[in-house]
């Protein structure tokens, strides 16, 4: 896969209460599901649309100190290795051409004393995250150009209950070989919502 | 501490019998000749400690959660959507 994919979400349904959620992996309904989402598209009412992108290139960054500290971000393609290391007095993410990884992977070796979280971002949003990466450990990311979409709401927390409402089944969208497509939400709250794919354009077009 | 679920439809004019629920349970809305009821469904696997209610019926429902007879929360549950509930222990109730 060599091209970015431009995805247009169109709300042709009656939904005005839920957000359009996009995951990088399949999820089951649970309170924390919306916290692991790749992108949350809000405020797209009936007739509205929103464009986003699946990028071949990813961004990497490292988070530590309970999320208080964030490294420099670097752009990375599959097959590239990185090392999170100490340069002078600072922690930095630098290229490491000697790191052993597969051509379809992006790898990060943690060479600092802290246990860290390595995040891989696409389109400016966290696509995948690996926490608890200890000194000397390596975080390898391997991914397919595939997303799962549906409706959902951010979790609500009260004194007695936490809850979230979301699609029971998520619609899988395979982006391999595509350069653009439209995902249209259709239906209503009584018959249910469907996500229809159309305007599909291949890479070679 | 006990928890109950009730669903209503027809803009609140119709309601199901209340059912007692507990963490780690899955529930599904079943259509009984135009009446909707909550039934246990072992095929629904909730996240640890949570309760999941799935609306499989072709109707827009309101889901009410109560505890000890006291209302806790109300939510809209469209067809084809699930509510994930993390019930918290509170012995004060």
First to last CA, chain B: 7
Q: What integer is the mean pLDDT of A92-117?
A: 96
The DSSP H or E segment spanning A183 is: strand A178-188
CB–CB contact B81 A159 (8 Å): no
Tens-digit pLDDT profile for residues A161-171: 999 999 999 99
User: With a CB-CB cutoff of 8 Å, which residues 43-62 of chain B face chain A?
Assistant: 45-47, 50, 52, 54-56, 58-60
Distance between CA atoms of residues A186 and A195, nearest Å: 6
Distance between CA atoms of residues A19 and A22, nearest Å: 10
Q: What integer is the mean pLDDT of B38-67?
A: 95
Q: How many CB atoms lie within 10 A of CB A65?
A: 10
CB–CB contact A191 B58 (8 Å): yes
pLDDT higher than threshold 70 for residue A205:
no
The rounded mean pLDDT for chain B is: 92
CATH of A5-55+144-202, one of 3.40.1340, 2.60.40, 2.60.120, 1.10.20: 2.60.40
Q: What is the pTM of this model?
A: 0.91
Q: How many CB atoms lie within 10 A of CB B88?
A: 16
User: By the CB < 8 Å criterion, does A193 face chain B?
Assistant: yes
pLDDT higher than threshold 50 for residue B87:
yes
ipTM comes to: 0.93
Q: How far is CA B70 from CA A164, A176, B5, in A?
A: 20, 51, 11
Residue A36 phi/psi, 5-degree rounding, is -100, 20
Residues in chain A closer than 8 A to B23 (CB atoms) = none
The three-class DSSP label of residue A185 is: strand
Distance between CA atoms of residues A105 and A140, nearest Å: 6
pLDDT at A204: 75
CB–CB contact A30 B90 (8 Å): no
Closest CA of chain A from B61, distance in Å: 8
Tens-digit pLDDT profile for residues A11-64: 999 999 999 999 999 999 999 987 889 999 999 999 999 999 999 999 999 999
| Residue A187 DSSP code | E
User: By the CB < 8 Å criterion, does A164 face chain B?
Assistant: yes
pLDDT at B93: 45
Pick among B78, B79, B89 to test the A interface (most A CBs inside 10 A): B78
What tokens were used for A203?
A: 């890479």
User: By the CB < 8 Å criterion, does B39 face chain A?
Assistant: no
pLDDT higher than threshold 50 for residue A135:
yes
Q: Where are the domains of chain A?
A: 5-55+144-202, 58-142
pLDDT at A36: 87
pLDDT-derived band at B69 (thresholds 50, 70, 90) equals confident
Residues in chain B closer than 8 A to A28 (CB atoms) = 45-47
As a dihedral over the C-alpha atoms of residue A82, residue A128, residue A177, residue A168, rounded to 10 degrees, the angle is 170
* Angle value at C-alpha B8, between B2 and B10, nearest 5 degrees: 175
Q: What integer is the mean pLDDT of B39-56?
A: 95
Pick among A165, A169, A187, A195 to test the B interface (most B CBs inside 10 A): A165
Q: For chain A, what percent of residues have pLDDT higher than 90?
A: 91
């Amino acid at each position: 896969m060599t091209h970015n994919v431009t995805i247009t979400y169109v709300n042709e349904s009656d939904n005005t209460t839920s957000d359009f959620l996009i995951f990088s992996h399949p999820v089951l309904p649970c309170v924390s599901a919306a916290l692991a989402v790749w992108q949350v598209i809000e405020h797209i009412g009936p007739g509205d649309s929103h464009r986003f992108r699946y990028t071949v290139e990813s961004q990497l960054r490292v988070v530590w100190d309970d999320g208080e500290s964030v490294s420099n971000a670097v752009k990375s393609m599959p097959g590239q290795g990185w090392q999170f290391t100490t340069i002078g007095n600072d922690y930095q993410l630098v290229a490491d051409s000697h790191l052993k990884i597969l051509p379809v992977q992006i790898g990060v070796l943690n060479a600092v004393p802290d246990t860290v979280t390595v995040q891989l971002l696409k389109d400016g949003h966290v696509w995948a995250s690996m926490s608890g990466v200890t000194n000397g450990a390596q975080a390898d990311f391997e991914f397919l150009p595939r997303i799962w979409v549906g409706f959902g709401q951010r979790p609500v927390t009260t004194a007695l209950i936490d809850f979230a409402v979301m699609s029971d089944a998520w619609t899988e969208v395979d982006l391999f070989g595509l350069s653009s497509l439209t995902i249209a939400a259709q239906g209503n709250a009584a018959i249910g919502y469907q996500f229809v794919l159309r305007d599909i354009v291949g890479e070679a077009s | 501490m006990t928890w109950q679920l009730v669903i209503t439809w027809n803009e609140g004019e119709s309601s199901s019998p209340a059912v007692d629920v507990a963490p780690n349970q899955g529930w599904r809305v079943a259509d009984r000749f135009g009446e909707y009821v909550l039934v246990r469904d072992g095929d629904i696997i909730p996240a640890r400690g949570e309760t999941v209610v799935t609306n499989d019926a072709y109707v827009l429902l309101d889901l009410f959660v109560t505890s000890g007879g006291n209302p806790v929360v109300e939510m809209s549950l469209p067809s084809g959507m699930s509510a994930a509930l993390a019930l918290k222990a509170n012995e004060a109730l």
